[in-house]
């Protein structure tokens, strides 16, 4: 039947079934072992009793003739059920009341050494275990046979086996029910977590799943789920801020271009080279640069930022960017640049140096300092300016996207708030780190440390 398919059963039912099977197997093995041990132990008690009776009768015969044998030695009980004293000719001369007149076992089976616990099949039709011994006395040679009753032992073993067989279904049923109840109760917390997660939507990521008070795997699952939801919420908010900031940044150059084209449409005579070069083209370039920055950051978020690995001179890259900056800078640029070899992506490293230099020139009052050197296996790029500086509390935040700390870093200054974010991403992709420190005499110093042999980012 399809409903008996284990795959269609719930976790609680499967757990109960497995628990029942395991308990049943354990009870079967343990019960069989216990019954066997009990059976062997009771048989050993019977054998001990018959052997002791043989030894006592032999001791008595060594001092007294058979007709003066202590009559108490011929008495029987639950263990000793038959006693025979047999002559060398095979005649039974003394026996207990229930013992037969013929030897229980042929006397040829025995010698002067005590033989105990002969199995039941040696006595056809009788449930006995026989112990015997030949005794040589001054009155002659005699064989002593003592039969022990194994029927009571077998009855006891059967009773115990029957009790175990009757009790096993009850124990198995209780174990299965307890397992079913415990698993179902545990899964109730999981179901509550599942229901709450199903209710959470992208518009309400502030919701959290309930954490059970018990410190178990389900509680750990709830905590992990809440941590994941917190990360999703933070990522969603960052994405919303990013989209809002990107839209705002793109709106300004796009609005300028549209306004210029509308003016040209209304007054074609005004559309000249000056309007195109001085107004439309700079805004288009600004928008193009912004879109390229956004695409680079998007690739970094997806961990698909592709970097070329080739040997470059960090000093040469810095010299090119310094020469470019000096053409339009309104401040002095001082350099101490060494030809530091490095394995990395030339375009990415150029972008890092350019953004740092542009940032320093934009905020410097009169002086920018650029140093490139090697310390051990690490290339160090230091870019400082004598501008207003960056407070210590904001030195991590400035590497965020669209972050401007004050009016000096406004859009009118030419920045989009993505330069340092790109620096951080590219440096991290090269396995390096970028930090901010105070410049002696005032201002800010940006320090980039890059391994000269390019390694994977952490």
Q: What is the mean pLDDT of residues 218-238?
A: 80
What 3-state DSSP class applies to 289?
A: helix
Where is average pLDDT lowest: 33-42, 168-177, 214-223?
214-223
The secondary structure of 367-428, three-state, reads EEEEEEEEECCEEEEEEEECCCCCCHHHCCHHHCCCCCCCHHHCHHHCCCCCHHHHHHHHHH
In eight-state DSSP terms, residue 443 is S
Partner residues linked to 333 by β-bridges: 368
Where is average pLDDT lowest: 21-35, 237-251, 328-342, 347-361?
237-251
> In CATH, which of 1.20.140.10, 1.10.287.130, 3.30.43.10, 3.90.1200.10 is domain 217-301?
1.10.287.130
Confidence at residue 224, expressed as pLDDT on a 0 to 100 scale? 85
> In CATH, which of 3.10.110, 3.30.450, 1.10.3470, 3.40.140 is domain 14-155?
3.30.450
The tens digit of pLDDT for each residue in 282-326 reads 777 777 777 777 777 776 666 656 677 888 888 899 898 888 888
The tens digit of pLDDT for each residue in 112-167 reads 899 988 875 644 555 788 999 999 888 889 999 998 888 888 888 899 999 988 98
pTM score of the predicted model: 0.49
Q: What is the mean pLDDT of residues 376-383?
A: 91
The tens digit of pLDDT for each residue in 50-84 reads 999 999 999 998 888 888 888 888 888 888 889 99
Average pLDDT in the chain: 82
Q: Where are the domains of the chain?
A: 14-155, 217-301, 310-451
> In CATH, which of 3.40.50.300, 3.20.20.140, 3.60.130.10, 3.30.565.10 is domain 310-451?
3.30.565.10
Q: 14-155 and 217-301: same fold?
A: no
Q: Which residue has the tokens 């401040």?
A: 331
Tokens matching residue 387: 């501008």
- Per the CB < 8 A criterion, the answer to whether 45 and 79 are in contact is yes
């Amino acid at each position: 039947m399809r409903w008996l398919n284990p795959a269609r059963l719930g976790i609680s039912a499967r757990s109960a079934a497995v628990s029942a099977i395991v308990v049943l197997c354990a009870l079967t093995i343990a019960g069989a072992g216990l019954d066997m041990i009990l059976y062997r132990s009771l048989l050993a008690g019977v054998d001990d009793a018959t052997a002791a009776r043989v030894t006592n009768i032999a001791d008595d015969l060594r001092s007294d003739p058979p007709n003066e044998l202590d009559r108490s030695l011929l008495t029987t009980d639950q263990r000793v059920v038959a006693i025979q004293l047999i002559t060398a000719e095979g005649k039974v001369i003394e026996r207990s009341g229930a013992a037969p007149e013929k030897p229980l076992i042929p006397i040829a089976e025995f010698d002067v050494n005590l033989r105990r616990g002969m199995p039941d099949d040696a006595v056809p039709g009788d449930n006995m275990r026989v112990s015997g011994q030949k005794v040589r006395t001054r009155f002659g040679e005699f064989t002593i046979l003592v039969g022990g009753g194994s029927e009571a032992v077998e009855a006891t073993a059967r009773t115990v086996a029957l009790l175990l067989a009757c009790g096993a279904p009850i124990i198995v049923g209780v174990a299965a029910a307890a397992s079913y109840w415990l698993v179902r109760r545990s899964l109730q917390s999981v179901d509550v977590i599942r229901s709450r997660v199903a209710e959470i939507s992208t518009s309400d990521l502030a919701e959290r799943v309930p954490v059970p008070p018990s410190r178990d795997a389900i509680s750990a699952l709830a905590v992990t789920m809440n941590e994941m939801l917190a990360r999703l919420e933070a990522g969603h908010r960052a994405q919303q801020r990013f989209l809002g900031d990107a839209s705002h940044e793109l709106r300004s150059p796009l609005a300028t271009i549209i306004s210029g084209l509308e003016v040209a449409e209304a007054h074609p005579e005004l559309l000249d080279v000056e309007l195109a070069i001085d107004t439309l083209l700079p805004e288009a370039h600004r928008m193009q640069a912004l879109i390229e920055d956004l695409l680079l950051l998007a690739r970094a978020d997806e961990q698909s930022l592709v970097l070329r690995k080739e040997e470059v001179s960090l000093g040469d890259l810095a010299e090119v960017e310094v020469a470019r900056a000096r053409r339009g800078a309104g401040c002095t640029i001082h350099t101490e640049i060494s030809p530091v070899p490095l394995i990395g992506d030339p375009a990415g490293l150029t972008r890092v140096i350019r953004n740092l230099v542009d940032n320093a020139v934009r905020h410097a009052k009169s002086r920018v300092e650029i140093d490139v050197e090697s310390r051990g296996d690490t290339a160090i790029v230091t870019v400082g300016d004598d501008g207003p500086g960056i407070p210590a509390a904001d030195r991590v935040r400035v590497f965020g996207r669209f972050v401007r700390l004050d009016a000096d870093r406004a859009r009118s200054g030419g920045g989009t708030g993505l330069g340092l974010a790109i620096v951080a991403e590219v440096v991290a992709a090269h396995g390096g780190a970028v930090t901010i420190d105070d410049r002696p005499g005032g201002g800010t110093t940006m320090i980039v440390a890059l391994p000269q042999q390019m390694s994977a980012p952490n």
